[in-house]
Structure 1
Amino acid sequence: MSSSASLADYRAALTAPGAAVPVIASAAGRFPIAMLPLATLLYVQRETGSFAAAGLVSAGQMIGVAAGSVAQGRVIDRQGPSRPLLVVVALFVLAVTALVAAVETHQPLPVVVALATVAGIFRPALEGASRSLWTVLVPAGSARSAALTYEAISLEVFFILGPAIAAFLVAAPWPGLGLVVAGTAMTLGAGAFALSRPARRVGRTPAHDGVSLLGALARPGMRTVALAALGFGLVIGSVEVGLPAVTAAAGSPTLGGVLLSAWSISSVLAGVLYGMRPWPRPLHLRMPALLGGFAVLVAAMALVGPSGSLAVLVITMVVSGALITPQVTAHSLAVDIAAPPGAAAEAFGWVVTAATLGIATGQSSAGIVVETFGPHAAFVSGGAAGVVLATVLWLRRATLLPQPVEEQAAVA
């Protein structure tokens, strides 16, 4: 799939019959995706006084999200999104309530980490459900490409606004307000999405042939997409740690958050333009090219050096940010090629899981590198990891070529 998308295609997708309610509900439910983990971390840190404890709780939540995205996606593919999401929403409310109660009553750290993990598992997997519903709302072609690009762009916007709102709300008289606001928005958005007419009209889908414990990941093409998402997350995670470390060393600790928001803004703007004329057009070539270019540009951010100009760093960063949304869109488009029939939500759950694990690994490894070699080394380590995985993607590029139906059955 290499369709370009015009502004008319975006309009056609977002105004498709039946799209309004699930689009608005999905936006409300996905808005706190980046807000929830930061709100949890800041809340726990304020209550315990320990960043170490808060980091463990946040990590537990991310692990839960990584596992829950795949499990929920698999059920949504079989049952349709409506009933599974309603069940998950109810369990999510209970889990978040228990987490808040545990923090407020100063329960032992293992208990809080366990409850955060459960809350992550039951965080509604709206990313995969929303993405898979577009295959019902919009026919294949440029309009669907525009719809999937919209999904990527909207996520970037949420990643800009979510953390900023979480940081603002933690200063409220009660520091748990951000977690409650994020949980409430997710609950209402996912519930409204599940009850929308298009979601309720999606029926049961028989399990695809050749099902294994790995599910959709048993397909070679899906493993390639997951590797692309993993590499993307590794590079992102290294910048999320390296940039604040650089600005703090330069005497401007708050500048890091501002620049990360600017990074996402450049990604959103470039994502719309790139979607009109994607390059390379063949998707199996586009994915390694985008990851490789992204990794090289991030590594180039280290060339500024400890005594270099922050302005040069910012310029390099903005240019690299232009390749963020195109990668997320490419991952989503590749799922259509690589996933088994009837497994789109689960397949996208694997993409979310791989990216989440990549970000967590990138952040933790970058932290070690910063402590050992200095802030700018984080960009080198993240860029190097991205180049290695881009090379692997290039070697595996044939797995993303569309296959005849009989060949797909043989692979499964």
Structure 2
Amino acid sequence: MSHSITLADYRAALRTPGATAPVLTSLLGRLPIAMIGLALMLYVQKETGSFAIAGLVSAGELVGVACGSVVQSRVIDRIGPSRPMLVMSAALALLTTAEIAAIEAGAPVAVLTVLGFALGLSQPTVAPASRALWSQLLPAGAARDAAYSYEAISMEVFFILGPGLAGLLVALPWPGTGVVAGSACMIIGSLGFAATPAARGLRPQRTGPRGGMLGAFRAPGMRTVALAALGFGVLIGFVEVGVPASAVQAGAPNAGGLLLSALSVTSVVFGVLYGMRPWPRPMHLRLPALLLGFAGLVALLAVPGSLWGLCLALLLAGCLITPQSTAHSVALDLAAPAGTETEAFGWVVTAVTLGSAVGQSVSGRLVETSGPPTAFLVAGLVGALLAGGLWLRRGTLLPTREPALATTS
């Protein structure tokens, strides 16, 4: 069970000796985590005129991120973060260049999608490595929970702020600016993080359960946390396509990015307050309750008839963003087998990213055939169904349960 977190706990965590450099560099490396995919989608949409094609290419990039997150995180658990991040940063620079060249040349959709997948696969996994540092910098307790909460808050701010920046940058004379800016930011931040003493001194976990190809994912509790993260990602994916489409439909296409940024305002404020008094207290009840509540708020986005009304509805929906991501992060202490900290968080990132890929691709079809309100309603229904699945699996996260590898449940 997680501790109640105070502002003093956040201060204690962020002032921990050795934390400043990785905190700052990881912020820069994580800023584009959701920016590159949406920037790519908006770039392709501008060039092709189709949300469906753009959603497919963006989904390819997100699937690449999902696969790369687990593979890279498992490698980091074995050899540390510095060498993998150096290699992947170089790969990201090359593949970003290749994708842009293909878009400008009018390459077939299949080529753009495959290159998008490779681009996503190469993105350095700063977030899982950053979270893993805290288990060595801080002992178990409220300060470490505050550090995990900080990781979740910053992660979700960037999941919302990044798309907002992408929406603004696509309005510039060259619509590919957001893809270049996002990749450059990620490369610089990743290289900086890899060079910090804390990252270079992160001791690899060479012993402990491995669990074959699935690794940490074989633990029943890990699959439950991943399901919660998947549901969250699906809803975010629907919103990230439905909101810009609503702006286009209203005759204000450049407002899409600003509207998405509204989510981050209440996300941060309510996220900090929620961390002080989380509800429901038991984690096995908290995950389904938060996902169900968020599904309902996303469905309400179908109601407003104006962009101002949509903005207010987005502010309301933002209240349940950070509480979910914080719960996912803290739940790993219950669910993840020992020695798999980086990989376990990689699975969370993978689940969120895959969910976003599904949400974006399905939403892209729905907004073209039936309009954004239908997409928001479908998102709410899907979220509610996944919350029901979490409820059925709640027993895998009971506080008395020891994280263990298993092949059943």
> Could you tell me the percent identity over the aligned residues?
58
Equivalent position of 2:93 in the other structure: 93
Give yes or no for the alignment of 1:31 onto 2:23.
Answer: no
Equivalent position of 2:112 in the other structure: 112
Contact 2:76–2:342 (CA under 8 A) maintained in structure 1: yes
Equivalent position of 2:317 in the other structure: 320
Give yes or no for the alignment of 1:294 onto 2:294.
Answer: yes
Q: Which moved more, 1:286-295 or 1:205-214?
A: 205-214
Give yes or no for the alignment of 1:340 onto 2:337.
Answer: yes
Alignment partners' CA distance in 1, 2:86 and 2:295: 39
- Scaled by the length of structure 1, the TM-score of the pair is 0.89
- Structure 1, unmatched stretches of 5+, are none
Equivalent position of 1:165 in the other structure: 165
Using the TM superposition, give the Cα deviation of residue 189 of structure 1 relative to its aligned residue in structure 2, in angstroms: 0.8
Equivalent position of 1:330 in the other structure: 327
Alignment partners' CA distance in 2, 1:290 and 1:37: 25
CA offset digits 1:21-55 (Å, max 9, x no partner): 00011011111112212332344455566655544
SS in 1 for 2:372: coil
Contact 2:235–2:380 (CA under 8 A) maintained in structure 1: yes
Equivalent position of 1:211 in the other structure: 211
SS in 2 for 1:348: helix
Alignment partners' CA distance in 2, 1:249 and 1:49: 14
Q: CA distance change for structure 1 residues 293 and 113 in 2, over 3 Å: closer, same or farther?
A: closer
Matched to 1:112, the amino acid is L
Equivalent position of 2:404 in the other structure: 408
> 1:259-408 counterparts in 2 under 5 A?
259-302=259-302, 304=303, 314-371=311-368, 373-403=370-400, 408=404
Using the TM superposition, give the Cα deviation of residue 318 of structure 1 relative to its aligned residue in structure 2, in angstroms: 2.5
Q: Which moved more, 1:137-146 or 1:310-319?
A: 310-319
- Structure 2, unmatched stretches of 5+, are none
> How many aligned positions are there?
408
Using the TM superposition, give the Cα deviation of residue 99 of structure 1 relative to its aligned residue in structure 2, in angstroms: 2.8
Matched to 2:375, the amino acid is A
Contact 1:78–1:207 (CA under 8 A) maintained in structure 2: no
Alignment partners' CA distance in 2, 1:168 and 1:333: 33
Using the TM superposition, give the Cα deviation of residue 366 of structure 1 relative to its aligned residue in structure 2, in angstroms: 3.2
Alignment partners' CA distance in 1, 2:104 and 2:221: 46
Equivalent position of 1:13 in the other structure: 13
Equivalent position of 1:185 in the other structure: 185
Using the TM superposition, give the Cα deviation of residue 146 of structure 1 relative to its aligned residue in structure 2, in angstroms: 1.3
Q: CA distance change for structure 1 residues 13 and 403 in 2, over 3 Å: closer, same or farther?
A: same
Contact 1:10–1:146 (CA under 8 A) maintained in structure 2: yes
CA offset digits 1:330-373 (Å, max 9, x no partner): 00111121111111111111111111121222233334444555
What CA RMSD, in Å, does the superposition of the two structures yield over aligned residues? 2.6
Using the TM superposition, give the Cα deviation of residue 260 of structure 1 relative to its aligned residue in structure 2, in angstroms: 2.2
CA offset digits 1:159-190 (Å, max 9, x no partner): 34433433444454544333222212111111
Alignment partners' CA distance in 2, 1:378 and 1:107: 29
Contact 2:156–2:325 (CA under 8 A) maintained in structure 1: no
Alignment partners' CA distance in 1, 2:371 and 2:174: 36
- Scaled by the length of structure 2, the TM-score of the pair is 0.90
Matched to 2:20, the amino acid is A
Equivalent position of 1:197 in the other structure: 197
